């Protein structure tokens, strides 16, 4: 992707998907298309940074015709297109591996260990949960509102187990997860159990790669959920896309600006404002 030369004033947009670039209910991103095209035409990067699984993110990235890296499963892994930076991506926080046309930095714990940890935390706390590993593709589709084919992609987890609390004290369950050395976070629809996965660490690692290749790179973060707070603190400019969690998120990221609308319309406003200020 990178040409020889010295680009300045490049913006790297790190963006959440559900409830941010995608409408929370319909998953439509078309209201943001004109602004997305402006960002791409200006030579800026749009990095999808999400709790979604790689297969689902790849499909969205292709539909949006975005050539840039992706961060999946709440920072479980960073995928950089092979040759994107001219050579194999050299992450400062760990080695990358090349597979299926990507340079991959793995930060998260393998999925089977997460499924087992959630089972043990459920037993220890007496809280009944239901994770993706226990759900059929049809149930995932019903709970998310995704078409069956997309739900199949969403079901293919590697570093993050989404789950819902069916019955019991959420706080007791989260304490049990932490007592076992794992972490939890919460998105717009699901809790997530992880270990090692970290959106903020993934964003920092990728930002270092951009800045090693181009000067004057500025970073912008856009998110709507509590699981976005960490990476929104890592960027130069942060935007909150309105959601039910905005009040809590504002306390965690007090310097962030709040877009005037939810979903892709709010995303377009925020990205447009950053492009105008560039």
Report the CATH number that the domain containing residue 69 is assigned in CATH: 3.40.50.1000
Residue 2 belongs to some domain of the structure: no
Q: Which of 178, 194, 210 is the last residue of a domain?
A: 194
Q: What is the pLDDT of residue 187?
A: 78
Q: What is the pLDDT of residue 4?
A: 36
Residue 1 belongs to some domain of the structure: no
Give the count of domains, the chain: 2
Domain hosting 229: range is: 10-108+198-277
pLDDT digits (tens, 9 = 90+) for 53-64: 999 999 999 999
pLDDT digits (tens, 9 = 90+) for 232-272: 999 999 999 999 999 999 999 999 999 999 999 999 999 99
Q: Which residue numbers are catalytic?
A: 16
Q: What is the pLDDT of residue 149?
A: 92
173 plus 229 within the same structural domain: no
Residue 32 belongs to some domain of the structure: yes
159 plus 259 within the same structural domain: no
36 plus 104 within the same structural domain: yes
Among 5-9, 144-148, 170-174, 200-204, the least confident range: 5-9
In this prediction, what percent of the chain has a pLDDT beyond 70?
94
104 plus 219 within the same structural domain: yes
Mean confidence (pLDDT) of the chain: 91
17 plus 99 within the same structural domain: yes
97 plus 210 within the same structural domain: yes
The yes-or-no verdict on residue 85 having pLDDT over 90 is: no
Q: Which of 168, 194, 220 is the last residue of a domain?
A: 194
Residue 219 belongs to some domain of the structure: yes
Q: What is the pLDDT of residue 9?
A: 80
184 plus 239 within the same structural domain: no
35 plus 167 within the same structural domain: no
Q: What is the pLDDT of residue 186?
A: 84
Q: Which of 142, 163, 194 is the last residue of a domain?
A: 194
Residue 261 belongs to some domain of the structure: yes
CATH of the domain at 130: 3.30.980.20
Residue 4 belongs to some domain of the structure: no
80 plus 127 within the same structural domain: no
167 plus 251 within the same structural domain: no
The yes-or-no verdict on residue 156 having pLDDT over 80 is: yes
Residue 70 belongs to some domain of the structure: yes
Convert the chain into a string of H (helix), E (strand) and C (coil).
CCCCCCCCCEEEEEECCECCCECCCCCCCHHHHHHHHHHHHCCCEEEEECCCCHHHHHHHHHHHCCCCCEEEHHHCEEEEECCCCCCCCCCCCCCCEEECCEEEEECCCCHHHHHHHHHHHHHHHCCEEEEHHHCCHHHHHHHHCCCHHHHHHHCCCCCCEEEEEEECCHHHHHHHHHHCCCEEEECCCCEEEECCCCHHHHHHHHHHHHHHHCCCEEEEEEECCHHHHHHHCCCCEEEECCCCCHHHHHHHCCCCEECCCCHHHHHHHHHHHHHHHC
223 plus 100 within the same structural domain: yes
38 plus 119 within the same structural domain: no
Residue 264 belongs to some domain of the structure: yes
Q: What is the pLDDT of residue 212?
A: 86
């Amino acid at each position: 992707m990178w040409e020889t030369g010295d680009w300045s004033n490049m913006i790297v947009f790190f963006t959440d998907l559900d409830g941010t670039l995608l409408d929370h209910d319909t998953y439509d991103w078309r209201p943001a298309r004109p602004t997305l095209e402006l960002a791409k035409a200006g030579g800026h990067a749009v990095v999808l940074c999400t709790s979604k699984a790689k297969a689902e993110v790849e499909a969205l990235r292709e539909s949006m015709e975005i050539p840039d890296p992706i961060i999946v499963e709440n920072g479980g892994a960073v995928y950089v297109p092979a040759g994107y930076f001219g050579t194999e991506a050299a992450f400062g926080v760990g080695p990358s591996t090349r597979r299926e046309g990507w340079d991959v930095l793995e930060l998260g714990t393998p999925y089977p260990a997460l499924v087992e940890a959630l089972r043990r935390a459920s037993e220890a706390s007496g809280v009944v949960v239901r994770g993706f590993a226990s759900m059929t593709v049809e149930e995932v589709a019903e709970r998310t509102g995704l078409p069956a084919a997309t739900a199949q992609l969403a079901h293919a987890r590697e570093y993050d187990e989404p789950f819902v609390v069916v019955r019991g004290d959420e706080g007791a369950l989260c304490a049990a997860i932490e007592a076992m050395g794992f972490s939890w976070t919460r998105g717009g629809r699901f809790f997530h159990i992880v270990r090692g996965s970290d959106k903020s660490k993934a964003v920092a690692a990728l930002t270092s790669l951009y800045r090693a290749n181009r000067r004057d790179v500025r970073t912008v973060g856009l998110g709507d959920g509590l699981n976005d707070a960490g990476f929104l603190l890592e960027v130069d400019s942060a935007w909150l896309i309105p959601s039910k969690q905005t009040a809590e998120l504002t306390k965690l990221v007090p310097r962030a600006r709040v877009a005037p609308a939810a979903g892709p319309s709010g995303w377009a406003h925020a990205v447009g404002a950053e492009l105008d200020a560039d």
